[in-house]
């Protein structure tokens, strides 16, 4: 079969300068690394913000009747009826 | 084991495998660089009890497939921009860049045509065929590398061969019509 020609492909040697290029690329890559102390304080700060958000949302919830109070003060009809009986 | 030691042991394995995927020196060198960069970054995650060569093979296959995907995306983007930038010098034509150093002159034409057909196969079939037919790996080794069972690998190789022979027959029929 014609696929047999694939077995005739020879193995070749890699260029001698390739490892230098790899080393160069490794040195170019700057990985931002945080120390354990920094990452712990970042996690703590994030947790504080989340807890604060929850506390504020629970304590300062908008009262249910606020909308109707506003409508009343502005003389706005809050229903869709056309005729007043 | 240092990166240099790993490189010296496996450089040719990675480079030759990359060549079978892209059939071009520049691209194969770029894939080889990507592979050893990934090895450098993930050496800590490598488990000592597993086979280093298999692990490297797996990285090389993934990097080669990623490279081909990225290249196709780049070509598609260049084509679209060329439509909008008519008359500019940025129009790129899809020139065939077949330059496999492991192919001898007498087989060059036959292999160029065969690789064109292999490149159209689905990735898993292509990988199984390359590992089996060119890299001369056993079905067991391929199964380990591709993380599949032996039956699945055998089926992939069979389907790859079937698809290829179908494409070869179609090309021959087309040649007859043209002549």
Nearest chain B residue (CA) to A8: B103
Q: Chain A: residue nearest B23 by CA?
A: A9
In-domain check, residue B114? no
Q: What is the mean pLDDT of chain A?
A: 83
Residues B90, B37 within the same domain: yes
CB contact under 8 A, B102 and A13: no
Distance CA B38, CA B19 (A): 18
For residues B151 and B139, give the distance between their C-alpha atoms in angstroms, rounded to a whole number: 9
Q: Answer yes or no: do B40 and B98 share one domain.
A: yes
Lookup result for tokens 């009826």:
A81
The pair of structure tokens assigned to A75 is 């003389």
Neighbouring C-beta atoms of residue A14, cutoff 10 Å: 20
Q: Residue B19: exposed, middle, or buried by beta-carbon count in 10 A (0-12, 13-18, 19+)?
A: buried
B111 occurs within a structural domain? no
Is residue B92 within 8 A of residue B127, CB to CB? The reply is no
Residue B115 lies in a domain: no
Instruction: Tell me which residue range forms the domain holding B51.
Output: 1-103
Residue B128 CA to residue B40 CA, distance in Å, equals 26
Angstroms from B15 CA to nearest CA on chain A: 6
Question: What sections of B52-107 are H helices per DSSP?
Answer: 52-84
Tokens for B19? 């060549």
Of the residues B103, B132, B154, which one is the last residue of a structural domain? B103
Q: What CA–CA distance (Å, rounded) separates A33 from A23?
A: 20
Is the reported ipTM for this assembly greater than 0.85? no
Whether B151 maps to a domain, the answer reads yes
The pLDDT tens digits of the residues spanning B115-154 come to 999 999 999 999 999 999 999 999 999 999 999 999 999 9
Instruction: Find how far residue B144's CA is from the centre of its chain.
Output: 18
pTM value surpassing 0.80? no
Contacts of A28 in chain B (CB under 8 A): none
Percent of chain B with pLDDT over 90: 63
Q: Which residues pair with A42 in a beta bridge?
A: none
Q: How many domains does chain B have?
A: 2
- Contact status, residue B145 vs residue B131, Cβ threshold 8 Å: yes
pLDDT above 80 (res B94): no
pLDDT band at B82 (very low <50, low <70, confident <90, very high): confident
One domain for residues B94 and B138: no
B99: helix, strand or coil: strand
Tens digit of each residue's pLDDT (9 = 90 or more) over B24-71? 999 999 999 999 999 999 888 887 767 899 999 999 999 999 999 999
> Residues B78, B92: contact at Cβ < 8 Å?
yes
Please identify, among B76, B103, B130, the residue that sits at the C-terminal boundary of a domain: B103
The burial of B50, by beta-carbon neighbours within 10 Å (0-12 exposed, 13-18 middle, 19 or more buried), is given as exposed
User: Who's near A3: CB < 8 A, 6+ residues apart?
Assistant: B114, B133, B161, B164
Interface of B with A (CB under 8 A): 3-4, 7, 11-12, 15-16, 19-20, 29, 32-33, 36-37, 40, 100-104, 107, 110-111, 114, 133-134, 136, 161, 164-165, 168
Which CATH number is B129's domain given?
Answer: 1.10.10.10
Q: Which DSSP state fits A15?
A: P
> Distance between CA atoms of B38 and B26, rounded to whole angstroms?
19
- What value does the mean pLDDT take over residues A14-21? 93
* Residue B177, C-beta contacts closer than 8 angstroms, at least 6 positions apart: none
CB contact, 8 Å: A29 with chain B? yes
């Amino acid at each position: 079969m014609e696929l047999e020609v694939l077995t005739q492909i020879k193995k070749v040697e890699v260029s001698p300068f390739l490892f230098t290029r790899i080393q160069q690329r490794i040195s170019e890559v700057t990985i931002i690394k945080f120390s354990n102390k920094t990452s712990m304080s970042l996690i703590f700060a994030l947790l504080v913000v989340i807890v604060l958000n929850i506390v504020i949302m629970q304590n300062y919830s908008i009262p249910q009747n606020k909308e109707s109070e506003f409508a009343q003060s502005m003389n706005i009809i809050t229903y869709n009826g056309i005729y007043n009986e | 084991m240092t990166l240099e030691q790993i490189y010296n042991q496996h450089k040719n394995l990675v480079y030759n495998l990359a060549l079978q995927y892209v059939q071009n020196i520049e691209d194969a060198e770029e894939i080889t660089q990507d592979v050893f960069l990934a090895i450098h970054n993930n050496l800590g995650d490598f488990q000592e009890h597993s086979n280093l060569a298999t692990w490297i093979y797996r990285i090389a296959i993934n990097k080669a497939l990623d490279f081909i995907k990225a290249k196709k995306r780049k070509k598609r983007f260049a084509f679209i921009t060329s439509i909008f930038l008519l008359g500019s010098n940025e129009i790129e034509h899809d020139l065939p860049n077949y330059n496999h150093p492991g192919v001898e002159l007498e087989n060059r034409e036959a292999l160029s045509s065969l690789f064109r057909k292999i490149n159209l196969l689905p990735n898993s079939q292509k990988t199984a065929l390359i590992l089996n037919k060119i890299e001369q790996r056993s079905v067991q080794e391929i199964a380990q590398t591709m993380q599949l069972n032996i039956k699945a690998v055998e089926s992939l190789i069979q389907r790859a061969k079937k698809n290829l022979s179908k494409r070869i027959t179609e090309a021959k029929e087309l040649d007859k019509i043209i002549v």
